[in-house]
Amino acid sequence: MDYLSTNSILNGPFIFTYTSHHMVRSPGKSLPPYIDTYSNKNWRCDIRRILIPHELLETEIDGLSCQDYPYECAKKVVSELRRSGGKAYYLKENPKIILTTDSGSGTYNLQPLPAKSLDEVLGFEFKPRFLFGNNVVTETPYGILKNPPYECQDEQDELPRLVILYEDKRAAVAVKKLLYEVKPFTELFRRPDMTRLSDVEKKGSLEDVLKGGTVTLLIASENYLKSHLDVITQLKLESFKLGRGRSSLQIINSTRFANLTYEQRRFYFPANLVAALYFKAGCIPYGVVVPNCALCYELQASLYVGVALARGPNGYYKGVAILMEGLGSVVNYVDTDEVLKGGSMEFGEDEAEKFSSKIVEMIMEYKEKFGETPENLYVVRSRAFASIEADEIRKKVERGIEKKLSLIERFMWKKLKRKTIVFMSPYKTKYNIGGNRAIHVKSLSDYSNLWLIQPPSFNHAIRISYNSGNIDRRLPVLAYLYLRWLDFTSLIMKGRSTIAPVTYAKRYLKWLTLQDKIKLWN
């Protein structure tokens, strides 16, 4: 599971708000009706709660010029609409766009704007398919129970050995049985080494259990995980380094495992766990194919840099994770060398310099692996990039890249690649614009341009701010929808708003900030 919450199937060390890296997410309460079918029904919206975009046409309100003071005018309109009993918001990127219910909209000169369907915006239906190592294509990622992973390490490299550490043998045997009933998993992994936690503690410390060349599955009760929180936090962080940016430690809360329904235990739990263990072992569980998507070539030959934000004892922490797509391969990991820290959520001057240098290193790593620079570079974080911040990072990256390339490569980068650095910020909103809908908003200020999209399974819209050069404006929407499926540690997609590689950086960062908080508590 990804999140340590009371609804999780598998859990990490405790049940507060922190996350573990690469845990299997709870299947939740809404289950697909039967095996090999993925339920993606539209959320049934209450029409009275759906917000309709309107354009404010007033030139003046209460003697105030709406051209010179658009935000002040927008605030007055929103206040009046709310007093009339409706919901209303204005968009900071363009305050002339007001989202409101129908009630009260006649008070001002507001012109309704059409919210198009996602299919109409994209020009096709975004319906991904999942490709596995035997060239089988399925409609759901749950095909992982019947098919081998899409790609693993080179044939000459042996897969890591699975080690199961357990508190209670009955729970460990039950989990092991579910795993090794998955035939493709059995063919890839030898029988695991099984060790009781009490035996480890007698001989030494839990800190000694992690070893290179292994993937560790720790199965323990909620009480045990809570009482050993500091040690497990240290183990989790160490596992990122051993796994070269991918945690090699999977944690299962056996207390919650015991409460799974029969359907969850026989289907959803093993599918999520198998996918997570494949990923930790260096495999790509499945490939994502989007039929009728001409633009997807650009997505599948790009470099994605995800930035996660968290507040720690020493200011704001900024974790970085990388996802590379090229030639059908996916490379993703967390940068554990250095976490940027500053006094604000935005990059300070020194942080921007370090971050830009990291991006240059990642571009050169991409070039070394795939033979050419990426088609596009996406820099993704939840907080929107101000234009001045994005421009400064873009300039630093371009200067750094030009120093690394040959004369011919430098010419090609300047001529073809200059406009392909996309700064993108998706995050949840309070807006309900209706299922499977999308609205594009062009910025009137220093903020980025904006998409509001509401995928079919979402109750509220996702706000995607983006700052880029001359790219097809559909690409930020496509990138968001596509990257949701590249979090290989969880197959549950309903309502998931955070995308890879931000999810990877976010989980690592929460373990890191937790470690710093534990030090203060002690």
In sequence order, what DSSP letters do the residues of 398-419 get, joined into one string? HHHHHHHS-HHHHHHIIIIITT
Taking the whole predicted model, whether its pTM rises above 0.95 is answered as no
Residue 130's pLDDT band, with cuts at 50, 70 and 90, is: very high
Residue 493's pLDDT band, with cuts at 50, 70 and 90, is: confident
Residue 417's pLDDT band, with cuts at 50, 70 and 90, is: low
Higher pLDDT, 245 or 43: 245
pLDDT at 254: 97
Residue 406's pLDDT band, with cuts at 50, 70 and 90, is: confident
pLDDT at 495: 78
Residue the block writes with tokens 């534990």: 518
Closest CA to 311 of 81, 89, 84, 17: 17
pLDDT at 8: 44
pLDDT at 496: 84
Beta strands in 205-355 (DSSP E): 214-220, 249-253, 287-289, 303-312, 315-326, 329-334, 340-342
Percent of the chain whose pLDDT exceeds 70? 86
Contact 52, 40 (CB under 8 A): no
* C-alpha to C-alpha distance for 203 and 209, rounded to whole angstroms: 11
Tokens found for residue 257 = 């495992």
Residue 64's pLDDT band, with cuts at 50, 70 and 90, is: very high
Q: What is the pLDDT of residues 290-324, one digit of tens each?
A: 999 999 988 999 999 999 999 988 889 999 999 99
* C-alpha to C-alpha distance for 506 and 186, rounded to whole angstroms: 31
**Position 46 pLDDT exceeds 60:** no
**Position 36 pLDDT exceeds 60:** no
Higher pLDDT, 122 or 404: 122
- Structural domains in the chain, CATH included, are 50-113 (no CATH), 154-281 (3.40.50), 287-521 (3.30.420.10)
In sequence order, what DSSP letters do the residues of 19-55 get, joined into one string? B-TTPPPP--S---SSTT----PPP---GGG--EEEE
pLDDT at 409: 74
**Position 7 pLDDT exceeds 70:** no
**Position 468 pLDDT exceeds 80:** no
When pLDDT is averaged across residues 341-360 and rounded to a whole number, the result is 92
pLDDT at 416: 53
Residue 423's pLDDT band, with cuts at 50, 70 and 90, is: very high
When pLDDT is averaged across residues 188-213 and rounded to a whole number, the result is 88
Residue 412's pLDDT band, with cuts at 50, 70 and 90, is: low
* C-alpha to C-alpha distance for 457 and 256, rounded to whole angstroms: 26
Contact 244, 333 (CB under 8 A): yes
**Dihedral angle over CA of 309, 313, 315, 318, nearest 10:** -30
pLDDT at 24: 34
Mean pLDDT over the full length of the chain = 85
Residue 414's pLDDT band, with cuts at 50, 70 and 90, is: low
pLDDT at 145: 97
Q: What is the pLDDT of residues 181-198, one digit of tens each?
A: 999 999 999 889 999 999
pLDDT at 34: 33
Question: What does the buried/exposed string (b/e) look like for 395-410 if buried means 16 or more CB atoms within 10 Å of the residue's CB?
Answer: ebbbebbeeebeeebe
Q: Name the least confident of 150-154, 427-431, 501-505.
A: 150-154
Residue 402's pLDDT band, with cuts at 50, 70 and 90, is: confident
Coil, strand, or helix at residue 503? helix
When pLDDT is averaged across residues 112-119 and rounded to a whole number, the result is 91
